[in-house]
Amino acid sequence: MTAPAYADAEHRAATAGTLEGTSNLGWRHRVGQVVGSSLLLATLLAVVVLGVLLATVIARGWDWLNWGLLTNTASRFPERSGLGPAIAGTLWVIGLMALFALPVGVGAAVYLEEYAPDTRWTRILQVNIANLAGVPSVVYGLLGLGIFVDILGFGRSALTGALTLGLLILPVIIIASREALRAVPLSLRQGAFALGATPWQVIRPHGLPAALPGIMTGVILAFSRAIGETAPLLVAGAAGAILSRPDGPLSAYTVLPVQIYQWMQRPQTEFRDVAAAGIIVLLVVLLAMNAVAILLRQRFGRTRW
């Protein structure tokens, strides 16, 4: 083949490749548009469903929102029923849960990420922690019933509920805290180690403050899950209705989700409206907790390098 003929064949091949690439690019662009539109539609559908649920709950429960709902105890009359013991029990359980889950979860994450050797047993432990995050919540209720009620003898108390929920959210806090610690720049650790710092001298003043926004994000997600749980607390001994507020960790208790669940089981239609009002209160408590956590994350998460 002569030089001009070879050059012409090469030009035709290049032109054909360019046309084929252009055609594939157009096809990929159309596929991307279809996928993006589908994802947008799914997001809008989820938002619409959530909006309908919230509107329904607010419409049914708004007229029942009053000071008596927040202070009264349980009653067989809908107009006299209230969430006073349930609100107090929720605060007790969430507070005790935070005292247990936060230091244990963050401490376990620091150990696994900064101190633990890369061995087979460590990798098995990490896989098990990830698997525990997907275990059904009722299993944790059975665990709390067997360990905290029967073995340790805490009874069906607020401490039992707090420890049960603490076990439930512990894997979420550990995983989120490890990811946050892993996101800290490696140069920060290397510079500190080069100056002779110990691992704890690197983690305490530098690593943890830098990872605090990510840790607080995991804590928000974990607490949001815990405050709405009903099944593990029912199994672990939360009372359906009590007439007094808990006055200590070993007191009998009930929480907002359990009280709402009990109202929904009543045959009177009015109790369902009271339950809708209780859901509104639960959402307000959840949003208030999340707001506090977000403020703490923004306040202490400003790291200056």
Q: Is the pLDDT of residue 7 over 70?
A: no
| % the chain with pLDDT above 70 | 90
| % the chain with pLDDT above 90 | 14
Q: What pLDDT, on the 0 to 100 scale, is given for residue 8?
A: 55
Q: What pLDDT, on the 0 to 100 scale, is given for residue 2?
A: 55
Quick count: other Cβ atoms within 10 Å of Cβ 24?
10
- Residue 252 pLDDT level (bands cut at 50, 70, 90): confident
Q: Encode pLDDT of 45-98 as tens digits.
A: 999 998 999 898 888 888 888 888 888 887 888 888 888 888 888 889 999 999
**What are 178's two structure tokens?**
């490890």
Q: What pLDDT, on the 0 to 100 scale, is given for residue 18?
A: 54
Q: What pLDDT, on the 0 to 100 scale, is given for residue 4?
A: 53
Q: Encode pLDDT of 269-304 as tens digits.
A: 888 888 888 899 988 888 888 888 778 777 766 555
DSSP state of 265: T
pTM of the model: 0.80
Q: What pLDDT, on the 0 to 100 scale, is given for residue 234?
A: 83
Q: Encode pLDDT of 105-159 as tens digits.
A: 999 999 988 888 888 888 888 888 888 888 888 889 888 888 888 888 888 888 9
Q: Is the pLDDT of residue 43 over 90?
A: yes
Cα–Cα distance, 290 to 171 (Å, whole number)? 19
Quick count: other Cβ atoms within 10 Å of Cβ 192?
18
- Residue 238 pLDDT level (bands cut at 50, 70, 90): confident
Q: What pLDDT, on the 0 to 100 scale, is given for residue 21?
A: 52
Q: What pLDDT, on the 0 to 100 scale, is given for residue 204?
A: 80
Cα–Cα distance, 90 to 240 (Å, whole number)? 13
Cα 123 off chain centre by: 24
Nearest to 249 by CA among 73, 84, 88, 83: 88
Residue 187: enclosing H or E segment and its boundaries?
Answer: helix 186-194
Q: Is the pLDDT of residue 168 over 80?
A: yes
The burial of 91, by beta-carbon neighbours within 10 Å (0-12 exposed, 13-18 middle, 19 or more buried), is given as middle
Angle between helices 269-300 and 84-110 (to 10 degrees): 40
Q: Is the pLDDT of residue 42 over 90?
A: yes
